[in-house]
Structure 1
Amino acid sequence: MHCHSSDVRLETLDEKSTLSQSASSKMVDKLISTKNLKWVSLLVLIAQTTALVLILRYSRTQKTDGPRYLSSTAVVTAEVVKLFTCLLVIAMQHSVKPKEELRLTIECCKPITQSIIDELIGGILRSYAKRNFGHIITIERFIFICHKAIDILANGETLEYIHDPNGMAIIGDIHGNFVDLVNVLATAGWPEERTLIFLGDYVDRGPNSVEVVLLLLLLKIRYPKRIFLLRGNHETIEVNQEYGLPATLAEIYGASGNFLYYTLNSVFDWLPIAAIISDQLYCCHGGISQYEYDRSNLRRLARPTSWLHPKTDLPDALLLTDTLWADPAEYEQRKPFVPSERGASYIFNREALIDQLRRLKCRVLIRAHCPFEKGFKKSLDGFCYTVHSSKDPRQECYEAAILLLDFNAKTSLIEAKVVYHNADECDVHFLVEKLLDRFDATRNCLPMREPLPVECSQCALWRRGFSKQKILWDRCLAHEHLYDIIQEFSESNSVGQYYMRQVKRYNDVSFGAAMEFPNFLNEMNEDGGIMTIKNKRNELEQLEMENGKAQRYDFEIYIPDDETNWPKLVVNE
């Protein structure tokens, strides 16, 4: 697997010396910052030139006749001054940034309170009208939100179990469209009214990626059991760095944007990747995987997700990739799985989906990931539904949609209704004021449980030393990565050599690697390879149920063997 860059490790700094800088050193740090570095360098160059001119003018011999010449002492002094100033500028260029980042992480994370969170939620909503987001969410508040969100997400699961008899709402891709998010909240209501489940892709493409994702993180902090944020493929660093998220943060926060970009991606590594609603609806961003798995396999995926995590192996990375990237077939497809044109994961057909739903003990898949003209699409004979909740800039006539769910206590089944909206036809300022009024009226109905005023875990991590390299690794396996794996094993393994020859028969070797990779892995496993692909763990799931770790419902959904009696989801459009 490859890393996008080999960034240096941020060294641990002494806390006491960092927090108790002298007034003069603070002034120097402020002056010689990354933003002012080029001007400081120019000033130093002018000073050196001036010093040299003065030396040439006054450092000559006392002779009245003959040529003037510099004394050796003057030359050495000039060179020493030049060397010292250059080294000072270089040292400050490489050391101020880590110092500043560490200072921010130590000083900004105060104990969390409901009043602070409510103020920030209202501030973000109002900032859209006033266009002053950078003043409302400062660098310190940005870090505060990210760190507190990680603390909340760490208490959750990779596979979330969700049930709300009062109703739920499923929201698809938002993609940085703040107006669409406002429409969603206006339609579905605040989390006090019904549980909100977002299916990922909060950033990129739209103009308000930072506003959208920070508002959602604040809502997660405020209502940890009433709003769930699943991970999308754009919540991985290999994708969002290609779609302009670093540039967006740099535009708002200047030189600190790069550090905030890594901080935000650290939050993404803690997002759950799937959810099961009321024991019957399987929700994720992309789709299913062709490698055998059940609920326990999803729950055991390690977080934060990284190749450097000691509990992350190849099957885990494949399962994560397919969950975030897979798509249902739009046309008749004979093979269960075909490599996707996206360059990662696969396209699955109806039979493959039904087979996997049986393993998950669910009756339908609800996912996002694909924009459709109406924002909602039924596919694979009603076993799969796609929800897209933001405007697609590539289509003029487009409606976004969300799915409202209601639990029928008599049948123990869920009924669904599609609600559409068009961001171009709404008065966003009116909706914002309406949302703020509802928020003020209901926010005390569900008070926030404030944690004990303990030290921020993420700040403590920075004091021990934090490596950006852990964030820079790819989270998902593209087809080109599969080719690299086969090629690596072909150098020392007969199975790898055989499949390398098979792959080279394709016009596109990455596509060929994706076609041959499942068989390659299974043969490696049969020959005593290093990975186990068919890793179902029913005994682990049973143990978790007995220990009360997994969600238990007062009802159970039975999936019959006969598809004609399958209780598929009823959706009213």
Structure 2
Amino acid sequence: MGCGTSSKKGNKSKKENTDIIMSSINLVTSASFITEHSRDLMIKAALVIQNWYRRYRARLRVRQHYALAIFQSIEYSDEQGQMQLSSFFSFMLENYTKTNNEDSALVTRIFDNTRRESQIKDRDDFLGLIEVPDSYDGPRLQFPLTFTDIHILLQAFKQQQILHAHYVLEVLFEARKVLKQMPNFSHVKTFPAKEITICGDLHGKLDDLMLIFYKNGLPSENNPYVFNGDFVDRGNNSMEILMILLVCFLVYPSDLHLNRGNHEDFMMNLRYGFTKEILQKYKLHGRKILQVLEEVYTWLPIGTIIDNEILVIHGGISESTDLNTLHQLQRNKMKSVLMPPVLGNQETGEKRNKSASNYVEPRKVEPDKTPSEDLTKQEWEQIVDILWSDPRGKKGCYPNTSRGGGCYFGPDVTSKVLSKNQLKMLIRSHECKPDGYEVSHDGKVITVFSASNYYEEGSNRGAYIRLSYGTMPQFFQYQVTSTSCLNPLHQRMNAMESSAFKILKEKMISRKTDLINAFELRDHSRSGRISLAEWAFSMENILGLNLPWRSLSSHLVTIDSSGSVDYMSSFDDIRIEKPTKDMKSNLTETMYRYRSDLKIIFNIIDSDQSGLISMDEFRTMWKLFNAHYKAHIDDSQIDELASIVDFNKDGNIDFNEFLKAFYVVHKYDKPGTSLA
């Protein structure tokens, strides 16, 4: 686990450092053998050191703030791209009947694979053919599960052992059976003598979960927990976290509560890593695990209500949030946020209220489907809002433009929804916070995030909350660190800062052509230089990232003594590799920019998991993608590209390998300079 630190009700390290300095001053002033003049000089020297240290810490905080802003802006931009896939799928269903048969066949394949009804009828169909060999030396579980199995699993995962696929599937089947019996919202009672612990996003970070259990104790009848979604994706140990939580849930179904997050979604897992993790760890039975897991997700409760006063949901609320609707809808029909509901013709013309989330226009009913197979438009919107929304200080409810799903809700919306439902507080997660938690909306909204070092080591602390009836929430912070915790603070900050600027430059190079066009539009004299204000405006306008571009400029571009920006220097130390030298820039950048979206679509089309896509499918997929995303790629370029990437000329393309050919190369790292 490395060296872990924790603290209650805030970080005491800054106060402790100040106390050390003041203690030194007191020691100096109390020494009888020092003259009054020497004592004065030493006090002045100590105060100079103290002031220097305070300024040093302040500069580091500014640098950390900027680095976190970069990480978060790009994270939300990626999520926005993921949500845009929903619009793409809607576009295909609305338009494929107008296209030729080849396009129709491909679209039908996509939706047969993504909207399939679960065919998991009998667990024996899966488990009967998967035996645990005598040679297996990993953890062995005994059903029905007991506390002993929790202990066995934790010890095995500490030793980096892999749980056999047979046990994984058995846990998933057992969890599905119990989850099916649960309501949409778990109702929990606390007492002054019985607290409950609430944890936020873990995102596959096993060390954080282990540290929480070490500091706070394992789940039990006397130590209940709520885990508020986003157990998986991004981190390397999502499977281990999921298995621990589900085994604990099966042992203590009334005392461990699991809320669904926006990453408990099979389409999200395709982009953010959990699907890949499963297929790597379970090469033989990974597809079976994914199929069962997809259904388990749909049965997770969507929230927890504590003492009839505190609402715990993953994302947030909107002004139209209706707990009565959320209590009654059939939550298992929400297969994925990226697949909006199929609706009747009478609803296709309805527009979503502009104050709510960035809703995608619904599709028409397919001839062979009935509306009962899906949530209604209103129900779908309700779930999207509670999984994706974020609080903001501005009043009202308006589209969540950063993420592309859910809404931003202000303090007035919080007060209205809580008052309407006789609630006092909303506890949610969904957003990384530097201190692991944040209190907003006059104390009525608490954000808790439990994955420390979420972006990079040192980027943030994790936290959990303990509360009981009639008491104020208690916040517990911690941070898991590796051997690099021995490095000086400035060295750790430099590493985090360097990582942030690398991913920002990758975002810039993916829009190189568009950025150059924007720069040249303002470079009337064709000097290759524009003002810093013009450069910053172009960067924000093209990239759509709300960042302090002027403050970041010294890391991204060359600025002369007069303050003019050499805008082509933005791309000096970075380039996109490509399969062939003569590929046009706009095609290269488009392939790189949308590589994650294209890979998801490819993996859906590749229903037999052959790893191959035909030339015709490649052309058709690109033409559909191009038509919706308006990437401005000529059909002739697509045909030429298809021919080039069929390396062995067998009429098929290894699309995953092809996409790996598009990657960013950083020629060198610029010497780190402080942002403050």
Q: TM-score range by the shorter chain?
A: 0.5 to 0.7
The Cα of 1:115 is off from its aligned counterpart by 6.1
User: For residues 400 and 432 of structure 2, what CA distance do their matches in structure 1 show?
Assistant: 20
The Cα of 1:182 is off from its aligned counterpart by 0.9
Q: Does 1:128 align with 2:157?
A: yes
Give 3-state SS (helix, strand or coil) of 2:197's partner.
Answer: strand
Give 3-state SS (helix, strand or coil) of 1:289's partner.
Answer: coil
Q: Contact 1:164–1:195 (CA<8 Å) still a contact in 2?
A: no
The Cα of 1:334 is off from its aligned counterpart by 4.2
Structure-1 residue corresponding to 2:400:
339
Task: Please say which of residues 385-394 and 216-225 is displaced more in the overlay.
Answer: 385-394
User: For residues 423 and 157 of structure 2, what CA distance do their matches in structure 1 show?
Assistant: 40
User: Match of 2:126, as an amino acid?
Assistant: L
User: Match of 1:424, as an amino acid?
Assistant: T
Q: 2:126 aligns with which of 81, 104, 109?
A: 104
User: Match of 2:399, as an amino acid?
Assistant: V
Q: Does 1:179 align with 2:207?
A: yes
Structure-2 residue corresponding to 1:58:
none
The Cα of 1:10 is off from its aligned counterpart by 9.9
Structure-1 residue corresponding to 2:165:
139
Structure-1 residue corresponding to 2:471:
414
The Cα of 1:392 is off from its aligned counterpart by 3.4
Aligned length: 334
User: For residues 156 and 452 of structure 2, what CA distance do their matches in structure 1 show?
Assistant: 21
User: For residues 388 and 184 of structure 1, what CA distance do their matches in structure 2 show?
Assistant: 12
Q: Does 1:399 align with 2:461?
A: yes
Decide whether aligned partners of structure 1 residues 109 and 378 sit closer, same or farther in structure 2, where only a CA change above 3 A counts. Answer: farther
User: For residues 245 and 131 of structure 1, what CA distance do their matches in structure 2 show?
Assistant: 17
User: For residues 245 and 174 of structure 2, what CA distance do their matches in structure 1 show?
Assistant: 13
Structure-1 residue corresponding to 2:113:
7
The Cα of 1:12 is off from its aligned counterpart by 8.2
User: For residues 278 and 10 of structure 1, what CA distance do their matches in structure 2 show?
Assistant: 37
Structure-2 residue corresponding to 1:423:
480
Q: Contact 2:318–2:408 (CA<8 Å) still a contact in 1?
A: no
Give 3-state SS (helix, strand or coil) of 1:298's partner.
Answer: helix
User: Match of 2:467, as an amino acid?
Assistant: L
Structure-2 residue corresponding to 1:389:
450
User: Match of 1:150, as an amino acid?
Assistant: R
Structure-1 residue corresponding to 2:313:
284
User: For residues 311 and 210 of structure 1, what CA distance do their matches in structure 2 show?
Assistant: 29
Decide whether aligned partners of structure 1 residues 12 and 153 sit closer, same or farther in structure 2, where only a CA change above 3 A counts. Answer: closer
Q: Contact 2:207–2:480 (CA<8 Å) still a contact in 1?
A: yes
- Considering Cα pairs closer than 8 Å and 6+ residues apart, tell me whether 1 or 2 has the greater RCO: 1
Decide whether aligned partners of structure 1 residues 310 and 379 sit closer, same or farther in structure 2, where only a CA change above 3 A counts. Answer: same
Q: Does 1:252 align with 2:252?
A: no
The Cα of 1:336 is off from its aligned counterpart by 2.9
Q: 1:363 aligns with which of 419, 424, 436?
A: 424
Q: 1:349 aligns with which of 410, 413, 427?
A: 410
User: For residues 13 and 154 of structure 1, what CA distance do their matches in structure 2 show?
Assistant: 14
Structure-1 residue corresponding to 2:64:
none
How does 1:537-548 map onto structure 2 within 5 Å? none
User: Match of 2:472, as an amino acid?
Assistant: E
User: Match of 2:299, as an amino acid?
Assistant: W
Q: Contact 2:435–2:463 (CA<8 Å) still a contact in 1?
A: yes
Structure-2 residue corresponding to 1:153:
179
User: For residues 161 and 144 of structure 1, what CA distance do their matches in structure 2 show?
Assistant: 27
How does 1:238-249 map onto structure 2 within 5 Å? 238-249=267-278
Give 3-state SS (helix, strand or coil) of 2:468's partner.
Answer: strand
User: Match of 1:185, as an amino acid?
Assistant: F
Rg bigger for which structure? 1
User: For residues 11 and 290 of structure 1, what CA distance do their matches in structure 2 show?
Assistant: 34
User: For residues 150 and 14 of structure 1, what CA distance do their matches in structure 2 show?
Assistant: 12
User: For residues 364 and 102 of structure 1, what CA distance do their matches in structure 2 show?
Assistant: 45
How does 1:373-384 map onto structure 2 within 5 Å? 373-384=434-445
Deviations 1:425-470 (A, max 9, x none): 79xxxxxxxxxxxxxxxxxxxxxxxxxxxxxxxxxxxxxxxxxxxx
Structure-2 residue corresponding to 1:550:
none
The Cα of 1:310 is off from its aligned counterpart by 3.8
Decide whether aligned partners of structure 1 residues 109 and 255 sit closer, same or farther in structure 2, where only a CA change above 3 A counts. Answer: closer
Structure-2 residue corresponding to 1:443:
none
The Cα of 1:107 is off from its aligned counterpart by 6.0
User: For residues 157 and 420 of structure 1, what CA distance do their matches in structure 2 show?
Assistant: 31
Q: Contact 1:246–1:258 (CA<8 Å) still a contact in 2?
A: no
User: For residues 156 and 372 of structure 2, what CA distance do their matches in structure 1 show?
Assistant: 38
Structure-2 residue corresponding to 1:196:
225
Give 3-state SS (helix, strand or coil) of 1:299's partner.
Answer: helix
Give 3-state SS (helix, strand or coil) of 2:243's partner.
Answer: helix
How does 1:23-42 map onto structure 2 within 5 Å? none
Uncovered stretches (5+) of structure 2, i.e. residues with no partner = 1-85, 90-106, 133-140, 335-340, 342-370, 484-603, 606-629, 631-676
Give 3-state SS (helix, strand or coil) of 1:233's partner.
Answer: coil
Structure-1 residue corresponding to 2:671:
none
Decide whether aligned partners of structure 1 residues 12 and 348 sit closer, same or farther in structure 2, where only a CA change above 3 A counts. Answer: closer
Q: Contact 1:374–1:398 (CA<8 Å) still a contact in 2?
A: yes
The Cα of 1:312 is off from its aligned counterpart by 2.0
User: Match of 1:198, as an amino acid?
Assistant: F
Structure-2 residue corresponding to 1:469:
none
The Cα of 1:282 is off from its aligned counterpart by 0.8
Decide whether aligned partners of structure 1 residues 300 and 191 sit closer, same or farther in structure 2, where only a CA change above 3 A counts. Answer: same
User: For residues 11 and 113 of structure 1, what CA distance do their matches in structure 2 show?
Assistant: 27
The Cα of 1:263 is off from its aligned counterpart by 1.4
Decide whether aligned partners of structure 1 residues 325 and 394 sit closer, same or farther in structure 2, where only a CA change above 3 A counts. Answer: same
Uncovered stretches (5+) of structure 1, i.e. residues with no partner = 16-100, 408-412, 427-471, 474-506, 508-573
User: For residues 384 and 126 of structure 2, what CA distance do their matches in structure 1 show?
Assistant: 34
User: Match of 1:324, as an amino acid?
Assistant: L
Structure-1 residue corresponding to 2:188:
162
User: For residues 175 and 206 of structure 1, what CA distance do their matches in structure 2 show?
Assistant: 5
Q: 2:290 aligns with which of 235, 258, 261?
A: 261
Decide whether aligned partners of structure 1 residues 422 and 309 sit closer, same or farther in structure 2, where only a CA change above 3 A counts. Answer: farther
User: For residues 408 and 118 of structure 2, what CA distance do their matches in structure 1 show?
Assistant: 44
Deviations 1:177-234 (A, max 9, x none): 1110111222332222321011100001111000000110011100000000000000
Structure-2 residue corresponding to 1:516:
none
User: For residues 245 and 214 of structure 2, what CA distance do their matches in structure 1 show?
Assistant: 14
User: For residues 118 and 295 of structure 2, what CA distance do their matches in structure 1 show?
Assistant: 18
User: For residues 170 and 196 of structure 1, what CA distance do their matches in structure 2 show?
Assistant: 6
The Cα of 1:340 is off from its aligned counterpart by 3.1
Give 3-state SS (helix, strand or coil) of 2:435's partner.
Answer: coil
Q: Does 1:221 align with 2:243?
A: no
The Cα of 1:145 is off from its aligned counterpart by 0.3
Q: Contact 2:233–2:273 (CA<8 Å) still a contact in 1?
A: yes
User: For residues 153 and 189 of structure 2, what CA distance do their matches in structure 1 show?
Assistant: 29
How does 1:446-465 map onto structure 2 within 5 Å? none
Q: Does 1:319 align with 2:382?
A: yes
Q: Contact 1:108–1:143 (CA<8 Å) still a contact in 2?
A: no
Q: Contact 2:390–2:400 (CA<8 Å) still a contact in 1?
A: no
User: For residues 12 and 336 of structure 1, what CA distance do their matches in structure 2 show?
Assistant: 40
Decide whether aligned partners of structure 1 residues 334 and 228 sit closer, same or farther in structure 2, where only a CA change above 3 A counts. Answer: closer
Deviations 1:313-358 (A, max 9, x none): 11110000000000001xx424433333101111011101111111
Decide whether aligned partners of structure 1 residues 13 and 363 sit closer, same or farther in structure 2, where only a CA change above 3 A counts. Answer: closer
Structure 2 length as normaliser, TM-score?
0.46
User: Match of 1:400, as an amino acid?
Assistant: G
User: Match of 1:339, as an amino acid?
Assistant: N
User: Match of 1:7, as an amino acid?
Assistant: N
Decide whether aligned partners of structure 1 residues 309 and 161 sit closer, same or farther in structure 2, where only a CA change above 3 A counts. Answer: farther
Deviations 1:521-550 (A, max 9, x none): xxxxxxxxxxxxxxxxxxxxxxxxxxxxxx
User: For residues 270 and 212 of structure 1, what CA distance do their matches in structure 2 show?
Assistant: 18
